[in-house]
Amino acid sequence: MNWRRSPTHPIMPEPAQSSSTSRRLMTSPGLSKKYSSCSTIFLDDSTVSLPNLKSTVKCVTLAIYYHIKNRDSNRSLDIFDEKIHPLTREKVPEDYYSVDPEHKLIYRFVRTLFSSAQLTAECAIVTLVYLERLLTYAEMDICPCNWKRIVLGAILLASKVWDDQAVWNVDYCQILKDITVEDMNEMERHFLELLQFNINVPASVYAKYYFDLRSLADDNNLNFPLEPLDNQRATKLEAISRLCEDRYKDLGKVTIRRSLSADNLVGVRTTHAVLS
């Protein structure tokens, strides 16, 4: 599939002329793709209602990588700038703010947060939704100097909206040792304001992001783990599909819970989502 750069499109890989590079990004030498036959059906366990965590995080970070790589400019805001609000006390390389991060660096950063905070694959998809809304609503770019704080803010908000057992801001300070609770609170407050308090994620938007991420995975040879379909797995997938409608029908009605910086916010407003 050929992707075009659009403020309303969830995932934006490289232009067509460099598609060979993007396709090589996630290629594993010697790994052949499995195909179904009349006697054997190969199927992965990732579904729209229960995505595979590792594969989903890889796809989301790949989408972020392309956002950075395909940006038109370096529009940013001070609240997300690591020059002003560093996440670590360690000295960063001099060219840190001018060199685009590799996909593996973005993946390690996100994977660490998701593993330490025990976040779900669904939270990763919602993270991408919020990140792209921020770029659209605030008319800014994600670039080397701000990508970590933007991603952190999106994960922080998504974990509070999605997970019943949300992680508190102070918990993220235990993961990122050098960031303060006051900084986290301020960043979360700005993130919400820039989103115009639109944290609504309709089921249709979530599903579109899920399937577009799968398409991106196929375009970059990032295959979800395939296993032969047997009776036990077929029964499991059928049960998951029955829960899908109940799981997502009220997704658009959720609001922020246990948000330290948002406790005093009233009159939460919703506007049209970036995708419809």
Quote the pLDDT of residue 244.
55
Q: Sign of torsion, CA 95 186 106 134?
A: negative
Q: Is the pLDDT of residue 139 over 60?
A: yes
112 secondary structure, DSSP code: H
Quote the pLDDT of residue 212.
94
**What's the CA gap between 101 and 92, in Å, rounded?**
13
CB 49 within 8 A of CB 121: no
Q: What are φ and ψ of residue 199, in 5° steps?
A: -105, 10
pLDDT in tens, 4-44: 333 344 444 433 333 332 333 333 333 345 554 555 454 45
213 secondary structure, DSSP code: H
Question: For the purposes of burial, counting CB atoms within 10 Å of the CB of 40, is it exposed (0-12), middle (13-18) or buried (19 or more)?
Answer: exposed
DSSP string, 149-203: HHHHHHHHHHHHHH-SSPPPHHHHHHHSTT--HHHHHHHHHHHHHHTTT-----H
Alpha helices in 118-146 (DSSP H): 121-137
- Estimate to the nearest angstrom the gap between the alpha carbon of 223 and the chain centroid: 18
Quote the pLDDT of residue 246.
56
Neighbour tally for 142: CB within 10 Å: 25
Q: Can you tell me which residue has the tokens 């993007």?
A: 22
Most confidently modeled range among 62-71, 91-100, 247-256: 62-71
